[in-house]
């Protein structure tokens, strides 16, 4: 009997709660969206590629939609106009990040930049990035590290040429007859789906080292962030008047600044270093891998790119960063890759700080907000033949990736835009340019371009589902490879 009474009370409570929620929902003029189920809300509509699921919903409900992810209200902007409102006009209100358990436990209680809430610490960290870590002068001072790493990336395929084996990063050998099939879903020996390795693994390894530490091999034996920072700190203290040589040095130097408004503790330095590692590796590697995939599908683009490289750089040297302004076609390939394969197709989630109105609709405080840059980047009202990979569209076109053009937002925009935009561009452009300049690229085993699998997986970034495997052979005189 007692159990029945308790069950009835519980049922009544749930009923009153759901009724209150429904009435509250009715009173608010929420953006359109599918009706949520109790408990799960609309999570049943989100598949393994959330940007594609949200794209479908935007086609049905419009450029601003309201959803419920469990108990969490969610708003998604899917047009250039909505992106502008969220990331520019009302940016201050949309500048928080949701406080997830993942953010809490992986970033020392939101001590990094990516997951920290909007406030004095974030402002200080972003200012530090702008004026110190990623200033033009600093980036120039770390260029020697990027050069070393690009050289080591180039050396790997060269060293393994002719030996028919899986190189550490890229599958290379000189005999295409002996290549393994891949690309349509078959597994390539040694390269299971999205294990690090494969093409991006090789680039990532290099991108990760570039700028972060003076020499990757000096970190040998450091198996944790704490150990690594201990090593970097000891190196700084070992010489009087030590001059910072890489990003970690600069970070440690900044942390010691007694005039800082928000004091930087050890966990802040660790969390920020983690941001640099995460941001500085995966994103560039994944973009270069997508660029090579698209190029391998369209040999005409490869031909045009190498013609530009031969004309501007010549056959006797490698591409340097200062050459990039004379390589508009390579830049156009990079931008076109970022349009069709944005590293963060939904940007990073934001959270509203206050109730607000967008396009006449109510958005409650604490709502999680996404901007679907994939939908915007493939919007037929903004882009002709939007799903076609066509770098020409970026030639003699003023659109850049600096967050001012809301139809193209690979680095986001506004107060939470990627602080390392220029470093990211430098790494991607010079890696891609040198890979194209130094080697002829082919698909393995007489594979046809249309057989190359272009599936993606959604996670912290959006890489290829199956790592790219390609056959390379040198295209420059042998002495150029003596790096």
Cβ 129 to ligand HEM, closest distance in Å?
Answer: 7
Residues 267-286 that bind ligand HEM (CB under 6 A): 275-276, 279-280, 283-284
124 binds ligand HEM (CB under 6 A): no
Indicate the burial class of 285 (C-beta count within 10 angstroms; 0-12, 13-18, 19 or more).
Answer: buried
Contact between 202 and 439 (Cβ < 8 Å): no
Nearer to ligand HEM, 30 or 292 (CB): 292
Cβ 20 to ligand HEM, closest distance in Å?
Answer: 33
Nearer to ligand HEM, 255 or 312 (CB): 255
Cβ 346 to ligand HEM, closest distance in Å?
Answer: 9
Contact between 124 and 262 (Cβ < 8 Å): yes
Spatial CA neighbour of 391 closest among 281, 303, 456: 303
Stretch that binds ligand HEM, among 40-48, 198-206, 250-258, 410-418 (CB under 6 A): 410-418
Stretch that binds ligand HEM, among 135-143, 163-171, 382-390, 408-416 (CB under 6 A): 408-416
Strand partners, 68: 73
**129 assigned to a ligand binding site:** no
Cα separation, 157 vs 205, whole angstroms: 14
CA-based Rg of the chain, rounded to a whole angstrom? 25
Residue 14: CB atoms within 10 A of its CB come to 11
Cβ 356 to ligand HEM, closest distance in Å?
Answer: 18
Cβ-based neighbours of 185, under 8 Å, separated by 6 or more: 453, 466
Nearer to ligand HEM, 209 or 393 (CB): 209
Contact between 117 and 352 (Cβ < 8 Å): no
Binding mask 337-356 vs ligand HEM (x if CB under 6 A, - otherwise)? ------xx--xx--------
Residue 130: CB atoms within 10 A of its CB come to 11
Cα separation, 445 vs 180, whole angstroms: 6
Binder to ligand HEM among 183, 198, 391, 419 (CB under 6 A)? 419
Nearer to ligand HEM, 30 or 338 (CB): 338
Cβ 277 to ligand HEM, closest distance in Å?
Answer: 8
416 binds ligand HEM (CB under 6 A): yes
Q: What are phi and psi of 460, to 5 degrees?
A: -65, -30
Nearer to ligand HEM, 291 or 319 (CB): 291
Residue 395: both structure tokens together? 């030639």
Nearer to ligand HEM, 406 or 411 (CB): 411
Contact between 474 and 311 (Cβ < 8 Å): no
Cβ 452 to ligand HEM, closest distance in Å?
Answer: 22
How is 17-49 classified by DSSP, letter by letter? HHHHHHHHHHHS-PPP-PPPBTTTBTGGG--SS
Cβ 279 to ligand HEM, closest distance in Å?
Answer: 2
Nearer to ligand HEM, 158 or 418 (CB): 418
Binder to ligand HEM among 417, 454, 457, 480 (CB under 6 A)? 417
Contact between 31 and 65 (Cβ < 8 Å): yes
Cα separation, 431 vs 334, whole angstroms: 11
Cβ 453 to ligand HEM, closest distance in Å?
Answer: 23
Nearer to ligand HEM, 275 or 456 (CB): 275
Nearer to ligand HEM, 96 or 476 (CB): 96
86 binds ligand HEM (CB under 6 A): no
Binder to ligand HEM among 93, 107, 287, 293 (CB under 6 A)? 287
- Per-residue burial over 151-162, b = 16 or more CB atoms within 10 Å of its CB, e = otherwise: ebbbebbbebbe
Binding footprint of ligand HEM, residue count (CB under 6 A): 25
CA 427, 318, 303: angle at the middle one, nearest 5? 85
* Displacement of CA 122 from its chain's centroid (Å): 20
Binder to ligand HEM among 423, 432, 462, 468 (CB under 6 A)? 423
Q: Which residues are annotated as a binding site?
A: 418
Question: Interface residues with ligand HEM (CB under 6 A)?
Answer: 113-114, 126, 275-276, 279-280, 283-284, 287, 343-344, 347-348, 410-412, 416-420, 423-424, 428
Q: Which residues are annotated as a binding site for heme?
A: 418
């Amino acid at each position: 009997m007692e159990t029945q009474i308790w069950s009835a009370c519980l049922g009544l409570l749930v009923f009153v709660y759901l009724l209150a929620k429904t009435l509250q929902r009715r009173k608010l003029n929420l953006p359109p969206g599918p009706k949520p189920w109790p408990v799960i809300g609309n999570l049943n509509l989100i598949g393994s590629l959330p940007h594609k699921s949200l794209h479908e919903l935007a086609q049905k409900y419009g450029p601003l939609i309201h959803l419920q992810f469990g108990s969490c209200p969610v708003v998604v902007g899917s047009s250039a106009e909505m992106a502008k409102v969220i990331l520019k006009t009302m940016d201050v209100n949309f500048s928080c990040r949701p406080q997830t358990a993942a953010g809490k436990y992986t970033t020392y209680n939101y001590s990094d930049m990516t997951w920290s809430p909007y406030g004095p610490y974030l402002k200080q960290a972003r200012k530090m990035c702008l004026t110190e870590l990623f200033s033009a002068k600093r980036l120039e001072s770390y260029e020697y590290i990027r050069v070393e790493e690009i050289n080591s990336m180039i050396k790997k395929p060269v060293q393994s040429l002719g030996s028919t084996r899986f190189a550490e990063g890229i599958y290379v050998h000189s005999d295409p007859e002996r290549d393994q099939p891949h690309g349509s879903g078959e597994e390539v020996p040694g390269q299971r789906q999205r294990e690090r390795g494969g093409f991006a693994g090789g680039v990532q390894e290099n991108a990760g080292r570039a700028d972060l530490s003076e020499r990757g091999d000096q970190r040998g034996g450091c198996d944790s962030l704490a150990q690594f920072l201990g090593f970097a700190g000891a190196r700084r203290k070992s010489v009087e008047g030590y001059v910072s040589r890489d990003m970690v040095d600069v970070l440690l130097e900044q942390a010691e600044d007694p005039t800082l408004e928000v004091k930087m503790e050890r966990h802040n330095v660790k969390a920020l270093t983690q941001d640099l590692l995460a941001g500085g590796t995966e994103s560039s590697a994944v973009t270069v891998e997508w660029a090579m995939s698209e190029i391998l599908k369209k040999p005409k683009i490869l031909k045009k790119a190498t013609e530009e490289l031969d004309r501007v750089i010549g056959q006797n040297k490698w591409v340097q960063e200062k050459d990039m302004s004379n390589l508009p076609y390579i830049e156009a390939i990079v931008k076109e890759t970022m349009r069709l394969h944005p590293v963060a197709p939904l940007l990073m989630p934001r959270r509203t700080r206050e109730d607000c109105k967008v396009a006449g609709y109510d958005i409650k405080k604490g709502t999680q907000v996404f901007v679907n840059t994939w939908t915007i980047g493939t919007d037929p009202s903004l882009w002709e033949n939007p799903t076609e990979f066509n770098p020409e569209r970026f030639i003699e076109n003023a659109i850049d990736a600096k967050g001012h053009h809301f139809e193209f937002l690979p680095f986001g925009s506004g107060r939470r835009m990627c602080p390392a935009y220029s470093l990211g561009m430098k790494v991607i452009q010079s890696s891609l340019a040198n890979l194209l300049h130094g080697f002829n690229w082919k698909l393995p085993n007489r594979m046809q371009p249309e057989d190359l699998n272009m599936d993606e997986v959604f996670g912290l970034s959006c890489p290829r589902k199956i790592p790219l495997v390609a056959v390379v052979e040198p295209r420059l005189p042998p002495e150029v490879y003596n790096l």
